[in-house]
Structure formats: C-alpha cells, structure tokens
Structure 1
C-alpha cells in the first residue's frame, strides 16, 4: 500500500462488508437473514451500519502502517477521521501505535542503509598501501587536481577515526557546471567511508534525527537546490562541525518538550556554485573540473563491490588498532592559511603524518593550494568594505553622502551591488545594516556631492572606516 492511498471510513467499511456479505451473519433469533436480489445489488453500506461494523486487526494495521509514512501535517489532517474508522479508537491510542510503527520503519531503515563494517581479520600493517589504493580509485574515475585527490583520500580515512578528532570538516564537492563528476566523487567517497548514508534531499528534522540515531557519515547530493533557503539545515550542518558545541535543541513529542540532539558527525555535500559562507568556513572545498574529451575515466558502476568492501574492512581494523596513535599525532599547521582552515585541516594532516613523509608533503601542498586560494576570497561584507574604500579613492573624497556612496557602488559594473537582490540593486538600508556589523554608522556631515556642490546630509567619514579597513582588508 502506497503512502498516498487514503483509507476512508467508507472504504474500510466496504472491504469489511464485502466479506460479511459473502458469509451472511446469523441473527440473534438464530434465523437466517432474508435478503432479496435487490438488497444484494445495493451498496454494502446500505445494509451494514457504520456503528456496528468491526474493523479487522489486519486492516487496522495496514491503515496504521500507512499513517506512519505520512508527513507531520498530513498525519494531523487524517488522524481524527482514521481513529473513528478504527472502531472509534482514541486519538491518543492511535498516536502511540503510529509512533511504534514509525520506530519499526526507522529500525529497518537503519539496518538496511547504515551498516557497520566487519574489521579485517588480520592487522593492517601498512595503511599507506590502502591510502594509495583509494587515491588510485579516485584518479581512475574523477577528473580533478592532485590536491583534491589527496584531500578526498584523507577525508575518507578521517571518517574511520572520528573519535580522534575535535573538528570534522565538511567535504564540499563543487563545480562550476554540470557533468564535472560531483555525484561520482560523492558516490565513491560514500562507498569507502564509515557508516555511509546517502541522500539527494533531506528536511531539517530528518537531518538531525538521522545524525542522532544512526551516527552516519552523511552524503548529501545536489545541496545547491535547497540549502540556501533552509536555515534549519544550515544550522544543523554548522553545529555538527565541532565538539565544542555539537547540540541543537528542538521541541518534540505531544508536550513539545525541548530535547537536545547531538549532530556532531562527518558530512559530505555536493552541488553547483556557492553555498552559504558559514558552511564554506567549515568546509574543505573539493572543486572538480569537466574531463577533456581526450581523458578516459572509468564508470563507478563497474567498480566491484568486493574491492571497496575490502578497503572498508581494512580501514575498520586499522582504526580499531590505531585510533590513539592518530589522536596523539602531532603536526605543524601551515601559517599561511586562516585559523578556521587550520582547524579543518588538522585531523587530515594528523592522518597524513601517520601515512608517512610522502603523504604528509602532499597533504601540506593540498592544504595550501585548496585553503590558501579559498581563504583569499572575501565574504560579502568584506567585499563591501573593499569596494567602499575603492569609492573613496576614486572620488578623492574623505566624506561621502550616503546617497552618493550608493550611486557609486551601483555604477561600477565590476562590483556586484547593482544586482545584489535577485537582479535588483543594494539599498541604503542594506548598506547601513552591513556596515553596522563593523560598528560603522552614518551621521550628519557636510560634504561635496558628486556635482561638486557643498551640501549637508547623512553620510560617512573615511576616518570611521580606518579600524575596519585595517582589521579586515590588510
């Protein structure tokens, strides 16, 4: 029975009535009931009253199982009617039965989709060979730089030693266009990571419940189609980055009791274009490129399951035997990347140090190439500061009226402020709000407007920007 099949009171009654018509009931005076041909041709609900109809347990269970698949809203719309149809069951009793059915479905899902790997029978004495094999598999299937290949390999190993890490960087698989192998890389990584759980879409509530219950390595494809408009999902992904504050609190149950959910865990996401800056800050970008026509790459579906299963088995055994060694590993973080990037790369560099000098050297190069270039890209607010500084320089002014600053920001086609709001230009209110983050606000000033006339009005003095320019643009 599909989740969209609605079982109404009449349908439940019809099914039960059909059975009773085939086997006529005996009346209380032990005399067979007399039914005319016309009576039998009539709809069954005209013969049997709803009040006397008894629903079988099998039919009731089917209805409950269907309710367990509904969204919270759909269930609320149906629960009262269905409770009445089930022999006038109380709504509270129905809620309990549906909750039990949902738990059963979730348990079956967990067993089938998030699976623990049996550790390899023998100790893995050379983990470097396993890492080399993973790197080669990525190279066989994906068109990417060596830096991306190294980072992806180390990230896969990271999922097996999560207990040794304080920070779990998000693997952000991205590309400028379609057909660059994002889904392929996501699939390959999921096939070699610990307790993988893959999805192409997910709600905020399903996200934090899945992480709490299954403790998976989560792989979310096509995240660009829904992440920017969903603050709930962004909040969960942000909170799951560090052990410092891994809990979110949500109200659940009939009484809406606040319940903490631990969302700390490894997550890989893929999509075209950019994602919110808070996620970028917590991610290691794995940027892919479309393969050349001359390049030949293998298909993932041709990669035998036995190959990746053995890799997972060896990683399971290695992590069991070497978790403390990874935790105790010491590494020097590159000083050329920012603090958050250092946090993100620390666990990967620890793993690389265990793999040996060659892998550690490759990891340092990958770290600087990926995070060094990414850290150079300013945030939206930093870009506004930079462009305002440019306006002051080009106008050779120390004071600017707010309206003139707005005009200059909109005028330059190299700046993004003329199309900031879905094709519409930035407003004075938005400028003021962004600058308030830097403790900068407009004030009454005397200045020359863009036509050279001396006027009074709301505006900005360049001296108010000196601290922000020094802190964020130097």
Structure 2
C-alpha cells in the first residue's frame, strides 16, 4: 500500500473515531466540577471555562451562571460578624432563668422600667425562633430627646439576637437583598428620617410583617422579575415616631427617657463579651428545643387585643406563658398598647364626632358646627390639617367617605343645611372605636419602676407625711374575721365606717379584681395605681388619700 493510500486510511479511521466519540453521551457535569471552577483564580477560571464547557457539552453562559450561583451560596455561608457563630449549649436551658438573665443584662446598662426590659428580652427570644413565626412585629425604640439610652439598648440587643446586622439607616434595596443573603435580625439605629419621603422603604418594611410576603424586583443579573423576601426581625430606634401609621401599627414601642442622676447604670462599651456569648449559646439551645411548639401556640389575648395588635404580641405571649410569666407579659402589653397613640386621622375624627353627638341633644350635626368644634382645640391635628391650614368641610367629607358616611340635608324643614346624622355613624363606631376607651391604660412613658405613686393633688399635700404613716390596713371591730377592709386616711373624718353589707368572708382582692392592677385609675383623681375599696357593696377604685374626698363628694 502506497503512502498516499495509508494516509487516506488513517484520516478515515480518525474521522470514524471522532464521529463515534461525538455520538457518545458527554460525561456528567457534577457539582464538584462547578465548585472547582468557583474556587479558581480569575486567570485560571478564564482559561478553564471554555474547556470545561466543551468537555461537558454545556453552553458557556449556562456554566457561568452555575458557577456564579455557587459563589453566591458560598458567600452567604460566610459569617459577616464574629458573633454570628453560635454553638448551642449542650444542656437543656431553663427558660425562666434565661430570660431573667437577659432582662438583668439590659437593666445593667440602661435606666428603664423593668416591664420594658422584660419585653425587650421576649422580643430577643422571638428573633431566635423567627423561622416558626407567622408575624414579625418591629421593636421600635423611641424617645422624646437624645441621650435617652436608645443606642445602648440597640447595642445590647445587637449582641443578643440571632445574626444581628447593625446599621445606621438603610435603603430598601439593601434591606431586602441582605435578608435574601443572610437572613439576619436588623438592628437599625438613628432612623429619625428614614421613612420621610421614602415610599419604597415603607413598602419593604410593611411587607416584612407577615411570613410569605415580599417585594417583586428585577434581578440585576438576569433582568427577570422575581420575589425577594422581606420577612425578618427588625429593631428600629429613632427620636420620635416619624413613620407612617402603617409601620407604627406593626410595632411594639419601647419609649425611653433620659436617666436622672439618681439612676445608676454600668457603662456599656459596645463590645461582645463572655456574658453575651453564654446567653446566645443558651438562646440557640432554647430555640432548637422549643421553637416549633411555640410557633404553633395560640395564646390567650387580653381583652381588647384584636387583629394586628393581637398578632404583634402572639409569639411573645406564647414565650412568656411557657415559663410562667404570661400575666406579666400581658400587663406590659396593655401598658404599651394603652400609651401608644396610633389611631389614624379617620378614627380620630370618628371619636371626636362621637363626643360631639354625646354632648348634643340632637340626632344630627351640621357641617359648620363640626368644623367649628374640630378647629377649636389648637393642639389637635384639625387646626393645622393641610399645610398649616384648618380642616374644611370637604376635608371632613373626604375622611368620612372611607367609612361610607356621607353628608345629608339636616335640620328643620325651613332651614335645611349640610350635615351628618348620628344613625349613620353606628356601624363605623362599632367597628373602629378603640376597645376599652373608657379605661385608658397608663402611658408607657410613666410605667412604674416600682409601685405606682399615689395622687399628689395640692389640696392633699399637707397630709402626705401622716398618710405614709397611716398607710397600713386598719382593722375594724365590726368584722369578726378582722378583714382589713379599709386603709386609714389622715384628716378629721379619717374613719370611714365599713359597710354593713360587706361580707366578713369576702376576699376583696379576689372578688372585686378587675384585672387592671397598677393600671386601675382612681374614681376621684383619675390617676393610675388605685386599689379597690368596698362602699355599701360597691367596688370603688381609690387611692388611700382619695377615699375621704370621694366619700364626701358622693355622700357616702
């Protein structure tokens, strides 16, 4: 065979081998191959990418996307902060002891009511079982003035919650991308102006209150729309409450005051320490052991806690119930909710109109009379409703239209004018009037650090020294069981005879308890901290020094 023929035969065989090789299925593109590419230097990656794509018969762009996805996953697994690395405690954790320690650590550095520190501790625990939560209330730390301990609280919380990501302000895009990447607990300080003229951030914050919600944005890599989750724990601190009511209604407020010279606290250095590390370790173990059960719990709600207010507190009530502090948690919740003015302009208008109707003998109000009454109080929003100008009849009509209440011709037949009928408000009042309006709980700004102070009206000031001494319960001869029925009260008529209708075996605290505790307001002075006293079988909330003035006024 000639050389020419031998060459042709060799070419033919090579072509057959190439054809046979092409017909064979390519080797499997495994994750190891992609991970190996992701770990190369930029130069190595540029040299090897095309070879691997050809070898595995995969489009280069598709292989590039797979490598990028691995890089993103690897990056997300990197711990952004050293305190994110937590090893759960080996032994089971006593929840009561754990949350008491968290509360004590907060109070070590911050002058604040114990009830508020307790709420911060519960919210901290909630961040560790957030994967089991349905709702994610914002912990909103606020104060009237600077230097009130907000930054200190945020710093302490930052070392206690799960995967805290601390920031001074934040943009909407940074928020949802961080959630996507790290699933953190946001601790955002100095958010005074964050929500002003920032509708996108408001949308992201609002959507993050409920599990499963998010925002749809275009992926910058693919330019395709997709959903970004916004569900994560968020703690926000700001001076004042410069946020829309849609955000405020999703929040639990911790209202701080500047501490006095008499209030001693330890300096907080904003440095992680062994104490924080032990608490995080115990929280991780507690969450692993209890998270699923607590997440499915349906705790009882205090009276008046409905809809979003109830949802805000649901998981924290469940946590507190689990270690026997449910009653304390509900008392704190009532105090915070009662002292937080979150009603919308529409609901406030409904309340003001109800007060006007109650003060009138007519079943209608004219629009002119309504406007005159609304703008008469310069401290209410109506006096400067629209850019410093008072609200108008059109403004009132616009607000009431949302409740399907419209103006009509009212008044005598010969003098009909525009106005509103009382009957048209019945449904709106029933649905939107805040519950227990007649028993407004105390302002959280004035939460008692110990027992509530008695009233200190000036007319009683001269008796204060004697009252302190006579504060012990007196025994009365008319009671064979020597029940401590009434307390002594200084003054000429200190003796208030016990009622003959008062049962000797009646437990006053049990039988007459209205559940308000320190929130109970005095029937005489209207201030909280009153106790229940029996007058002719009538349970009357009064302070010690208010008994006699009230009895004189009522003719008892």
TM, length-normalised to structure 2: 0.60
Q: Is the 8 A contact 1:114 1:214 kept in 2?
A: no
The 1:137/1:303 distance shift into structure 2, 3 A limit, reads: farther
For 1:440, the equivalent position in structure 2 comes to: 405
Post-superposition shift, 1:302?
6.8
The answer as to 2:373 corresponding to 1:405 is: no
Distance 2:78 2:403 in 1: 47
The answer as to 2:142 corresponding to 1:177 is: no
- Correspondence for 1:271 among 221, 227, 238: 238
For 1:461, the equivalent position in structure 2 comes to: 421
The answer as to 2:431 corresponding to 1:471 is: yes
The 1:342/1:317 distance shift into structure 2, 3 A limit, reads: same
Distance 2:421 2:292 in 1: 56
The answer as to 2:328 corresponding to 1:368 is: no
Q: Is the 8 A contact 2:93 2:285 kept in 1?
A: no
For 2:165, the equivalent position in structure 1 comes to: 197
Post-superposition shift, 1:224?
2.5
Residues 108-117 or 206-215, more deviating:
108-117
Q: Is the 8 A contact 1:217 1:267 kept in 2?
A: yes
Count of aligned residue pairs for this structure pair? 370
- Correspondence for 2:186 among 215, 218, 222: 218
Distance 1:132 1:314 in 2: 13
Equivalent residue of 2:142, what SS? strand
Higher share of residues assigned helix: 1
Distance 2:272 2:304 in 1: 41
Distance 2:216 2:225 in 1: 6
The answer as to 2:220 corresponding to 1:253 is: yes
For 1:316, the equivalent position in structure 2 comes to: 284
For 1:291, the equivalent position in structure 2 comes to: 259
The answer as to 2:351 corresponding to 1:386 is: yes
Residues 209-218 or 365-374, more deviating:
365-374
Distance 2:171 2:307 in 1: 31
Equivalent residue of 1:242, what SS? coil
Post-superposition shift, 1:372?
4.1
- Correspondence for 1:429 among 394, 412, 425: 394
Equivalent residue of 2:279, what SS? helix
Equivalent residue of 1:223, what SS? coil
The 1:323/1:226 distance shift into structure 2, 3 A limit, reads: closer
Distance 2:296 2:360 in 1: 56
Q: Is the 8 A contact 2:93 2:282 kept in 1?
A: no
The 1:303/1:365 distance shift into structure 2, 3 A limit, reads: farther
Q: Is the 8 A contact 2:245 2:342 kept in 1?
A: no
Q: Which runs of 5+ in 1 are unaligned?
A: 1-60, 62-92
Equivalent residue of 2:404, what SS? coil
Equivalent residue of 2:128, what SS? coil
The 1:467/1:148 distance shift into structure 2, 3 A limit, reads: same
Equivalent residue of 2:139, what SS? strand
RMSD across aligned positions (CA): 3.3
For 1:44, the equivalent position in structure 2 comes to: none
Distance 2:141 2:90 in 1: 34
Q: Is the 8 A contact 1:175 1:288 kept in 2?
A: yes
Q: Is the 8 A contact 2:83 2:159 kept in 1?
A: no
Distance 1:122 1:251 in 2: 44
The answer as to 2:327 corresponding to 1:348 is: no
Equivalent residue of 1:259, what SS? strand
Q: Is the 8 A contact 1:114 1:196 kept in 2?
A: no
Deviations 1:160-210 (A, max 9, x none): 111222112111111222221111111111111101011111111211111
Counterparts of 1:125-144 in structure 2 under 5 Å?
Answer: 125-144=93-112
The 1:293/1:164 distance shift into structure 2, 3 A limit, reads: same
The 1:363/1:454 distance shift into structure 2, 3 A limit, reads: same
Equivalent residue of 1:225, what SS? coil
Post-superposition shift, 1:373?
4.0
Structure number with greater CO (CA < 8 Å, separation at least 6) is 1
The 1:389/1:218 distance shift into structure 2, 3 A limit, reads: same
Post-superposition shift, 1:420?
2.6
The 1:384/1:219 distance shift into structure 2, 3 A limit, reads: same
Post-superposition shift, 1:341?
2.1
Distance 1:446 1:349 in 2: 49
For 1:6, the equivalent position in structure 2 comes to: none
Q: Is the 8 A contact 1:209 1:261 kept in 2?
A: yes
The 1:114/1:262 distance shift into structure 2, 3 A limit, reads: farther
Post-superposition shift, 1:229?
2.4
Q: Is the 8 A contact 2:249 2:308 kept in 1?
A: yes
- Correspondence for 1:327 among 282, 286, 295: 295
The 1:422/1:322 distance shift into structure 2, 3 A limit, reads: same
Deviations 1:98-152 (A, max 9, x none): xx8xx98x94996434863231352233233222221111111112112211110
Equivalent residue of 2:218, what SS? strand
Q: Is the 8 A contact 1:123 1:318 kept in 2?
A: no
Q: Which runs of 5+ in 2 are unaligned?
A: 1-41, 43-60, 436-556
Q: Is the 8 A contact 1:186 1:270 kept in 2?
A: yes
Deviations 1:274-331 (A, max 9, x none): 2322222211111122211111111220765222122212222332233334335563
For 1:118, the equivalent position in structure 2 comes to: 86
Equivalent residue of 2:388, what SS? coil
Q: Is the 8 A contact 2:218 2:225 kept in 1?
A: yes
The 1:117/1:316 distance shift into structure 2, 3 A limit, reads: farther
